[in-house]
Amino acid sequence: MTERNRTDKLEAPSNAIGKILSFIRERRYQPSERLPSERDFAEKFDTSRGAVREALAALETMRVIERRPNSGIYLRKIEESSIDALVLYAESGVPFEAKEIADVMEVRRMLEGQAVRLACTRRTADNIREINAILEETNKRLSKKQSIEREDEAFHLAIFSATKNDILLRVARSFYELSRHRRKVYFADHSRGRQSYEDHCAILEAIEERRVGQAEQQMNAHLSRTGEAWQALLAYIPQVACRLT
Amino acid sequence: MTERNRTDKLEAPSNAIGKILSFIRERRYQPSERLPSERDFAEKFDTSRGAVREALAALETMRVIERRPNSGIYLRKIEESSIDALVLYAESGVPFEAKEIADVMEVRRMLEGQAVRLACTRRTADNIREINAILEETNKRLSKKQSIEREDEAFHLAIFSATKNDILLRVARSFYELSRHRRKVYFADHSRGRQSYEDHCAILEAIEERRVGQAEQQMNAHLSRTGEAWQALLAYIPQVACRLT
DNA sequence: TCTGCCAAATTGGCCAAACCAGTCCTTTAG
DNA sequence: CTAAAGGACTGGTTTGGCCAATTTGGCAGA
């Protein structure tokens, strides 16, 4: 009951990574604490040292652990760990807090209002075509009662892309990756998907016509609605959030 | 002449990671192109398959490559690769463009102006103490004519930390990581360090006294000065930027 | 000539046993 | 009591092998 064929998030959880990760969480290891040795892990998971070392290499680049030669493997602070590690954590069963939602929405307000302004002035015809295609796909999925979490992410990232600021796009990508699990929960409700779709259409129209003020206003309205929907979601069924995947 | 004992950036370039990375770059591989097999790499680098596999595991979590079972190893798009991979690239000898600087400064303007406002209202006494300590260290290093790139990063991240928004802090961290190499180049000049220090002191004062408007204004002024200094730097000695490390 | 099938080669994934070069701690000889 | 010797760890690395799946190529039949 540990995992199934869900190898479409990170391509190689490779089994061992997940095992080590949940081992760390279950045993409540503290930062800078020393973990079992490679050989212990291999024995514990009934696998080979090579497989363990490969997983450890991955976890080290995610900055979850630190390997000190001739000493041991040490757990690092959670804040130091990379986004990929957090995604792995979030993907299955980590507690889910209202403050995180509020934080996410605050950052979105900081970034997306200004991004949409830039997008208005710098967009090309290609950008419009791309966003249009995304919205069509959104509509298609909505009419089939499917979740649109990926299309929502694609829409917002396409706006960042239209700003022609590669650094901003990169930051936005890692940000959206970070909140991907929450988005999955959010769009489990069909009506929230419909509302987002309508908001998106209005935003695209403003960008296409290069109405800077209107675009920013529409984006702010969209984010406000999303924030309120989140509050409502959390107020009534906070425990549902964890179980959905 | 490939590498020396510079194992203080990412903890385990482990030699093989760097070798594979420069191999990819030298041979000008294109995205989605198939790389040599694990066994080929092992032979090429005169090492074992296990070492190669460990490096590949790391590169896979950095999303530089994709390993398809029973098929091969494929190069992914650069835009998909993680920040760590970009840092590795930047660390040694990648071209250096003015647009990147402009992009970075644009993002900083988007984020830090609002962040400093939040910091004013939400800061605790601890935040002030922390920032003060950073500024003291900055001053100490300046009087010893040392570069302050780490202290500069610490100062700005401490402001993000004072906003009490963990998501924002995380985004800012990855952002600063992304531009770490450029910062190293920037602070190679001592006078730019002094200017930043003075700006930082003014910003801290405003945050401490919770003067929201003044803090934002100081931050904007600081970012403007930094942007201009960058322009000047790039205009006169663009080629120096690449060679400095 | 074209088609279909089967076997060999190649791939990544994995395992086992060993050796190295350090660190740390205990034991032992002076 | 001290200091040297020894052993028991550690992560880092190599070698050599097996597995399952895919790809490939050649051979047989139509």
From the list A53, A167, A178, the residue facing B167 with the nearest CB is A178
B151, B237: one domain: yes
Q: How many domains does chain B have?
A: 2
What is the rounded distance in angstroms from the CA atom of residue B115 to the CA atom of residue B107? 12
Across B111-124, average pLDDT: 97
| In a domain? residue A225 | yes
CATH of the domain at A30: 1.10.10.10
- Partners of residue B106 in chain A, C-beta under 8 Å: 118, 165, 167-168
| In a domain? residue A217 | yes
Tens digit of pLDDT for each residue in B68-77? 999 999 999 9
B131, B230: one domain: yes
Report the candidate in A167, A188, A191 with the shortest Cα–Cα distance to residue A118: A167
B64, B134: one domain: no
Amino acid A7: pLDDT: 31
CATH of the domain at B163: 1.20.120.530
Report the candidate in A180, A16, A177 with the shortest Cα–Cα distance to residue B83: A177
Burial of A144 (0-12, 13-18, 19+ CB in 10 A): exposed
For the cut 90, the answer to whether the pLDDT of residue B141 exceeds it is yes
For the cut 80, the answer to whether the pLDDT of residue A5 exceeds it is no
Length of chain B equals 245
Could you tell me if A15 and A92 are in contact, meaning their C-beta atoms sit under 8 angstroms apart? no
B80, B129: one domain: no
From the list A50, A82, A106, the residue facing B165 with the nearest CB is A106
B66, B167: one domain: no
Burial of B235 (0-12, 13-18, 19+ CB in 10 A): exposed
| In a domain? residue A43 | yes
Could you tell me if B128 and B208 are in contact, meaning their C-beta atoms sit under 8 angstroms apart? yes
Q: Which of A33, A56, A86 is the last residue of a domain?
A: A86
> CA of B141: how far to CAs of B136, B144, B174, B226, in Å?
9, 5, 25, 19
Tens digit of pLDDT for each residue in A165-189? 999 999 899 889 888 888 988 999 9
Tens digit of pLDDT for each residue in B38-77? 999 999 999 999 999 999 999 999 999 999 999 999 999 9
Tens digit of pLDDT for each residue in B191-210? 999 999 999 999 999 999 99
Amino acid B5: pLDDT: 31
Question: Distance in angstroms, CA of B11 to C1' of C14?
Answer: 26
Angle, helices B166-178 vs B98-122, to 10°: value is 150
| In a domain? residue A11 | no
- Which pTM was predicted? 0.84
A151, A175: one domain: yes
A127, A41: one domain: no
A37, A121: one domain: no
Provide the domain limits for residue A234. Answer: 96-243
| In a domain? residue A10 | no
Inspect the interface and report whether the beta carbons of A62 and B67 lie closer than 8 Å.
Answer: no
A56, A147: one domain: no
For the cut 90, the answer to whether the pLDDT of residue A114 exceeds it is yes
What is the rounded distance in angstroms from the CA atom of residue B83 to the CA atom of residue B63? 10
Question: Distance in angstroms, CA of A14 to C1' of C17?
Answer: 24
A116, A229: one domain: yes
Q: Which of A61, A86, A111 is the last residue of a domain?
A: A86
- B5: which DSSP letter? S
Give the distance from residue A188's alpha carbon to the nearest chain B alpha carbon, in angstroms.
Answer: 23
Q: What is the dihedral of CA A125, A131, A133, A136, to 10 degrees?
A: -130
| In a domain? residue A2 | no
B29, B112: one domain: no
